[in-house]
Structure 1
Amino acid sequence: MMKKIVNFVLHLLNAYNDLKIKYKLIAIISIIMLVCLLFTIVGFQYAFKSYDEQIYRKSSQVLIMSSNQIEDELKNIEELSFNILKDNTLQTNLMKSKEEITNYEQYQIESEIWEKLTSYIGNEKYIQSIYLFDQYGREYRAGRDNSEKIDKYKSKLFKKSIAGDGSNVWVSFEDSSNLIYSTRQIKAYKNLSFELLATLVIEVNLDEIVKELPREWDGQEGGIIISNSERPFYLENSILNYEQLIFPIKNSQGYLIKKEKGRTFFITYSKSPYADWTYWNIIPFGAMFAKVTAMKYIVIIIFLLLYSGAIFLAIKFSKHITNPIEKLVSSMKSVQKGDFNIPESIKSNEYNFHNEVGILHNNFYMMIDRINELIKENYEKQLLIKDTEFKALQSQINPHFLYNTLESINWLAKINNQQKISNMVESLGYLLRNAISIKEDVITVREELEIVKHYVTIQKFRFEDRLNFEIEINEQEMDCIVPKLVVQPLVENSINYALETMIECCQIKVMVKKVKNDLHIIVEDNGIGMDKDRLENVMKGEYKSKGNGIGLKNIESRIKFVFGQEYGLTVESKLNVGTKVILVIPYRMRWEYA
């Protein structure tokens, strides 16, 4: 099971990773909004639960106050019945009614009893009528007109009073939901005979009592219901089917929510030990929760509006990101296929802004423009190279002709025993071949010194004894590598700037030696040297040399290009003392470089 869940989560993650950016943004916003909605719902549920408890406590307090007020009034009536029970006038007249008396005496008894009962009923506004029934069935009444329900339930009231054995008993009937009856037996207490004199019945109007109760929800439909262990016997408003109000009550107090006739009601109940009654306070659910329900709908509407707005903004925002990226991807696919011609309208107008997407567009199109320039430049260079190769092929005739001519002069000099001319011609031919050859840029020190020797051979014919040239090198340095034609220009510079300016003999010395892991090639002369300013201009490449030779700056650039920036040359010179040029290159053999 756990494996299936993991696989499902991985599948969702893979599906999410494959989504486009705008759909990912919509999914993220939807998840965030749903999480917020979930927390809102949980918070509302907690708040509603707390609100229910607050309402229950308030309703319970009101219900208890109402039940206490009802019971206080009923206890007053119960006390009134006890006062009637022990009233001397009533006791005396009821005792007389048992004797043989005349009609006039009976009339007097009835009048006195009526007056007494009327005095009692006059102090209680909730009592409708007071009845006394003696042993002979005679009825003594005070209050309103005779109630038909008394005649109907007289026998039941007598039975209840007998069961009470002198104590007060409260009796209710199904068809008299607004009336309740207090009944008890009246016994003679004179001489402690406790002889039954009459049955007392007090008819009480519960509606009048309930009207005086405090209301929790003024102006709202609701009401009080009172039930005993058998059934509800008082219903203030017929908003519920009271026959279904017999619920299994586990606690003495509580609340419940009940639906009846398509409506929902909030019901609190409280069980009273007095007469074993249960009081019910019924309030329409809408009366209490109208604002809460409205708030629920408002929150839902606000959430839907926010969600719609967030999705709209997400789509709008994502288009500003994804549309340029999709255009960029389309352009990249075109470039991938070899089409580097991007319309100028796309490159310059549509996404000319300075955020990340705009920078990406600008850099990409700048790259395409640069690639186009490089392609064009490379194409032109290739044409130039082809043209140069063709011209070089054509020019092969001239060097061959020159070599052949020099060879003829050499043989002619040898035939005529002109050894000096022969040596000069051979050295010149060697120099020309090495200068024109482009096969190798890096040669051995041995090969470089051979070029220098041939160059010096030609110069010796010119300067004779004025040039004293010397090479100092060990055999192990002969196979080290050096860029081609870096030593010969230095010797040429010594001849041009030292030897030509001197009358006496010029000493030019080439030394090659190993220093740690480097190879130092030193060209030293005893010429007139240079002052500090001229030396600085020479090192900067600002000093104009004689002819079109290779300058020191060019030699240093070649060394750095071949071996790295840490290598190069330095010049040491003192006026009227001489000049020393030191080339520093890595100590490498030919096979190591290859």
Structure 2
Amino acid sequence: MFYSLKNRLIVFFVVLLFVSFGTMSYLFFTESRSIIRSYIESSAFEKMDEYGSFVNMALVQIYDVSSIVFNSSTVKNWDNTLSDPALPAGEKMLANINLSQFLTQTTNNYSIVSSVTVYRQEGLWITADNQMMNDSSFKKEAWYDRFKTRGIQWVSAHKDPIELNRSKTFDVLSLLLPIGTFEPLQSRNMMKINVSSQFFLEPLSRIHLGEKGTIFLLDGQGESVLGQHEYDSHPEAAKQMETIRNSTQQNGVIYLENEAGAKDIMVYKKLKLNNWLLVGIVPEVDLYGKLYKLRTSLLIFGSLLLVGAIIAAIWLSHGISKPLSRLASGMRYVQMGDFDGAENRIPEGEKVRNEVSYVTATFRNMVSRLRYHIKTEFELKLLKQQAEYKALLMQINPHFLFNTLELLSSLAMQHRTQDTVKVIEALGKMMRFSLKISNDLTPLEEELKYVRHYASILQIRFADRLHLSMEEEESLRQCVIPKFILQPLIENAVKYSFKEQAEAKVVVRVQREDQRLILTVADNGTGISLDLYQQLRAESLTSHFDHILKTRSEQIGLRNVLARCQLYYGNLFEFEITPGELAGTSISLSLPIQGGSLDV
């Protein structure tokens, strides 16, 4: 096939276009990317310098506010007043009000500050606008613990309860400092200066690196100061923090490989105050977006040229290759079992003009005959399978009928009229359900009614020696299942439970697992041998059930149930026989859930 005229022409044009056009495109793309990378890096450093100056200016103002509060005589008088136990409560309240007014005035003088709050170790906090409260809940905050134990002064963007009380729902960035001493552990008082994180985020959001690049403000530990959660999606950048902090360079560029295997460009700059970092991360694909678009346009243009070459080659070889191509395509459809597709690929009624046309027409005739024979064989197999299923269904001989008639005779002789009536009514309902053979399927709810009637007869027959319980999920009642698959299992469970002991315990459970219906019958009988289990497992894998129709072994009920489920569900049916919760045998049938618009 490779040496055909069409393929040789296609290969020639592809090689010619690919070598010349591909080489030119590669050289152009590589040189352009180098120029753009240099320009973007220098532009990123300029933007970071501007934003860094803005951050330093803001930090200077915040430190100015902290200096005013730290050195204020009002704060010192307030501390002395509250520390003197001899002073009355009124003077202490007046000192609190004076401090709140001082904080209000200080906050109003600095527009970037949202609030200044003074906390006292005993649990008192005071802020602007005469807000004060004895509430020690702030001691449970993480920022308080880190400040007291580790001396961490800056708190990243977070929700402050005091700000929320003032109807300020925005996140704040906070500076924590002790009052009266420089050691957090020795201070009785501390101040918390809140600044809206939007004050820093708004100018930062106006700085763009490409279309998807982002600049992050990080603290000395490499964590986001402004709560920029996008930074969490760059774990490879966090691994570089230790290297950057130990480096003497104030700025630099690092090339990373992200989790998708693509490259990211990381640009960083160290700020003068607080050891903060500005880190910009931009995907290389985004940075060179327009260049990649240009490369895509070149590839599209080259592809169009390639398509044109292929069309020319196909046109030249059309007279010979087209019939053979359709024949080969038809063969592929036959290989996949799609006979309609094969016939559609070879139109009917074409004139036989040469050897190729003759072969094509003969192949189409062969496909039609083959499809007819396969269809006939499939219908015969389906009819046979349906007949086997009906035979298995009719094989369910209610052995309990004879026992029930004997029970009725015994009850009549004992003059137990009420029990006799109950047994007759239950038996009648069961026989009425059994005579409905127009459909092989039944709702689970009807099957369970049938089982309950059967259970009532067993209960009258064995009285207190039988303990039979049923557990079901209400949502599964409308599921559709084959008829008579629970009663034979219960009958076997009761029989084998009484085989070597005086009491029988049987549990019937109906439950859902994912999209499957699990029917379980567990007993306290003698259990099942490994050889019998393996024999049942082997029988379930075969598609011949004649031996089950002819067998007269004691396991006829179980074998019949397994065979009917295997015939109806095929590979969708699963079963498991294990030691049960009652120390006997547990038989579980796993069926696909169907009902309503769902079907197997």
Same fold (TM over 0.5): no
**TM-score with structure 2 setting the length:** 0.40
**TM-score with structure 1 setting the length:** 0.41
